[in-house]
Structure 1
Amino acid sequence: MSAGSEQNESQNVHVRLGDRSYDIVIGKGILPQVEELVSTWLRLDSSTKGTRTVLIVTDSNVAEWANRVQGSFDASGWKTRVFEFAAGESSKKISTIIEAWDALVDFQADRRTVVISVGGGVVGDAGGFIAATYARGIPFIQIPTTLLATVDSAVGGKVGINHPKAKNLIGAFHQPCGVVIDTETLNTLPDREYRSGLAEVVKYGVILDEDFFSYLEQNVHSLNERAPHVLRMAIARSCELKAKVVEEDEFETTGLRAILNYGHTFAHAFEALAGYGELLHGEAVSIGMVYASRLAEKCGRTEQPETEKQVRLLESLDLPTNLSSPESIKMSDVLDRMRLDKKTVGGRLRFILPTRIGHVELIDDVDEAHVIETLREGGLSE
């Protein structure tokens, strides 16, 4: 795998999108370099920094990291402001965005203003949506501080907010000018949040890279211990794999990018019906991948041993593979949520299903009876 040697202090993954190309910089203790990186990406010199403004979007969980980022820009003469909202998925809504727009207006922001998201996936999605919609689009930087965000939502330019009836239903494509991943920010993650991110790391092995899946199997102990060199390797390879998909299908027009949503059709339904925040996104994805693989078995597309490999790895990383209270969720409600999924066309359910570890496919018109059988076996109520 091409992520680099264990001794590397930092490394770059380049996302090739023509004039929207950008770098993902991964390293330890690199937050003090943020202003320098941003100035390089925006081709600024010292004479122009005093006229630039930056809005740092963050939440109440990571204000400390946001303050460090703000200090980096203050020291270089930028005009800065922090927009902070309450932590949690429930804040990813239109009222939060309106407050941010108001803050930008009060800040006299213009099209040269830079929005920087410092936080997890909720902050990254919301900050990106703010940048995509203010003044028809302004520059945007991602600084993810959770493992899930570093390997998933911070890369690829998909930004948005939740609708009361569906997750991420309101959104846009707005590529960042760059992504800065400081692995030191992951040291303070609560264990449950850290493991939630590992689910997305496992996903990349299942959908694209059998060798990477094997690497994860062989390094379970190091992943559980957050060993820096293994964690950096896992992040870099995950970013490389996502970048490759984004480069080939930036706007989800060919169907390739849909493979990144493996397990998500089940996951988004479970996450919403459990109540946003009750089931962490990565936990829902872990469960959703297992359900999707079992559905693939019923469709004759994979074999049980392929599902069991996923179950073993996920459980060895202390991730759930079934709902804790499945009887509290009705199958009819799950199916209704699935019909709102962005992969659904004309009311017909479509799923990303595996054939083997390292390969998945987008399957049109999955027999709903197989879906119902999968949910019933998972213990969901009629």
Structure 2
Amino acid sequence: MKTLSFELHERQRCDILFGKENINIFSPESIVVMDSGLNSFFTEVPSEVHLLPGGEHVKSIDRVFELYQLFRTRNRSLVTAIGGGALIDLVGYSVYTHSQVKELFAVPTTCLAQSLLPIHGRFYVNFEFRKDLLAVCGLPGRIYIDPEFSFSRLQEKGNSELIPLLLITYSYDEHAFRYLQKLLKKGEELSYDTWTDILWLSIKLYTENVKDSPGVIGMGFANIFESVFRLKLEFLNALAFGTVFEAWLGKIFGVVSEEQYLLQLVRKFWSRQWPLRLDFSSINEYLGQIEKLELEIPCFGNIFHEKIGTEEFFKLLRDHGRELERLL
């Protein structure tokens, strides 16, 4: 098993354990909250495991109160969250707004959640269809990463699961991006060993950079799109669209490079279940209510940070909209 120690502040530390030799994630010492979609992954799930659906809609105030009630009746100080990023966000928010629970362990199960780890210091819930409107500070005590979870999902869902790894390497390390680009160009099916190697590489890059970074390319606009379309977009799909928008803006401002290779791979791995176009009238209506857009576009370790007015953004759409449409 590989391990990393991540320190957000002097008194906040998270141990990241990577490998199949995980603890008993159904430990009786912990209140366990799990994505109900994972039932089939296990031969047996203890009856006391609290099951919730995955996806952005689970991050609601109603679910927070449901977990408060669970914490009160179980009367334990440790909670383990098993599932994707949305479920871990919900459980983290509930844990760190509840005085009885003292510690959170997280077991992310999707590539998105295993690579973009919940170590940025906040947990979020949505409110009135607004993405991540409510937040609380917090950091898991431990994160257990079993690559078999995400590898199984890769085999089930297809190569769209690779998109987070592309975005991490493009955002933080040119050599890592070139390595991944070369590997994926071969078109060969990834072996489990190769999958664990590139997942571990991405995790290391993310943990080394997340304290000084806004996140990966596409993240800012992905959050906007989630609110625009009232949480109906799958987040990975929103992230793919966000990458297209931010690469387009980065090219206009001259702050990205080799973005065409990134976009080629994103388009190549676009899931057949995702829409191919967005409703621009909804985007314009939503952005019209915002005074300024804060752009933070990372590329190979450099971050472009700029605030632009929404009128300036609409002008960019008018002047460069056809190029954006071609990218989409």
Settle same-fold status: TM greater than 0.5: yes
Q: Return the alpha-carbon distance in structure 1 between the equivalents of residues 104 and 42 of structure 2.
A: 15
Q: Name the TM-score, length of structure 1 as normaliser.
A: 0.73
Partner in structure 2 of residue 270 of structure 1: 225
What is the aligned counterpart of 1:218 among 182, 188, 191? 182
Residue equivalent to 1:361: 303
- The answer for the alignment partner of 1:21 in structure 2 is 13
CA distance, structure 1, for counterparts of residue 25 and residue 276 of structure 2: 44
Is the Cα–Cα contact under 8 Å of residues 130 and 230 in structure 2 kept in the other structure? no
2:97 aligned partner: 133
Matched, 1:90 2:57: yes
Residue 282 of structure 1, CA deviation? 1.8
- Equivalent position of 2:169 in the other structure: 205
* Offset at residue 105 of structure 1 (A): 1.0
The letter for the 1-side match of 2:35 is D
SS at match of 2:293: coil
Cα 1:67–1:88 change in 2 (3 A) is: farther
Which of 128, 146, 150 aligns to 1:182? It is 146
* CA–CA distance in structure 1, aligned partners of residues 51 and 43 of structure 2: 11
Contact 1:223/1:230 (8 A) holds in 2: no
User: Aligned AA for 1:122?
Assistant: A
Q: Secondary structure at the match of 2:98?
A: helix
> Shift of residue 152 of structure 1?
0.9
Deviations 1:157-208 (Å, cap 9, x if unpaired)? 4312112242112122211111111112224326675645422211111221
Partner of 2:237: 283
**Structure 1 CA distance for aligned equivalents of residues 168 and 177 of structure 2:** 8
> Once superposed, what is the RMSD of the aligned Cα atoms?
3.1
Q: Deviations over 1:17-75 (max 9, x none)?
A: 444223211113x24x3469x9xxxxxxxxxxxxx84111112201355786x76xxxx
Paired AA for residue 317 in structure 1? F
The equivalences for 1:110-259 within 5 A come to: 113-135=77-99, 138-189=102-153, 193=157, 195-220=159-184, 225-246=189-210, 249=211, 256-258=212-214
The equivalent of 2:287 in structure 1 is: 335
How far residue 316 of structure 1 moved from its aligned partner, in angstroms, is 3.3
* Structure 1 residues 205 and 87: CA distance shift in structure 2, 3 A: closer
CA distance in 2: counterparts of 1:298 and 1:66, whole angstroms:
48
1:205-240 CA distance string (max 9 Å, x none)? 122100110111011168873422222122212221
Cα contact 1:125–1:159 (8 A) shared by 2: yes
Supply the distance in 2 between the matched residues of 1:336 and 1:117 (Cα, whole angstroms): 37
Query: Which amino acid is 1:358 matched to?
Result: F
In the TM superposition, what is the alpha-carbon distance from 1:310 to its structure 2 partner? 1.3
Contact 2:160–2:270 (8 Å) recurs in 1: no
Residue 121 of structure 1, CA deviation: 0.9
Asked if the contact 1:208–1:358 (Cα under 8 Å) also holds between the matched residues in 2, the reply is yes
- Aligned residue pairs: how many? 320
Amino acid at match of 1:365: K
Q: Deviations over 1:349-375 (max 9, x none)?
A: 211125xx4134242222545532348
The answer (yes or no) to whether the contact 1:286–1:319 under 8 Å persists in 2 is: no
User: Aligned AA for 2:250?
Assistant: A
Alpha-carbon separation, structure 2, partners of 1:266 and 1:145: 24
Distance in 2 (CA, whole Å) between partners of 1:129 and 1:234 is: 30
Residue 63 of structure 1: aligned partner:
39
Q: Which runs of 5+ in 1 are unaligned?
A: 1-9, 39-51, 72-79, 250-255, 340-346
What is residue 266 of structure 2 aligned with on the other side?
A: 314
The residue aligned with 1:349 is 293
Say which SS state the counterpart of residue 90 (structure 2) adopts.
helix
**Paired residues of 2:25 and 2:80 also in contact (CA < 8 A):** no
Structure 2 residue 248 is the aligned partner of structure 1 residue 294:
yes
- 1:49 corresponding residue in structure 2: none
Cα–Cα, structure 1 residues 67 and 20, in superposed 2: closer, same or farther, change >3 Å? farther
Q: Distance in 2 between matches of 1:35 and 1:124?
A: 14
Of 70, 74, 92, which residue of structure 2 is paired with 1:107? 74
How far did 1:117 drift?
Answer: 0.5
Identical-pair percentage: 19
AA matched with 1:26:
F
Q: Is the 8 A contact 1:162 1:170 kept in 2?
A: yes
Q: Which moved more, 1:293-302 or 1:176-185?
A: 293-302
In the TM superposition, residue 119 of structure 1 has moved relative to its aligned partner by: 0.7
Instruction: Describe the SS at the equivalent of 1:175.
Output: coil
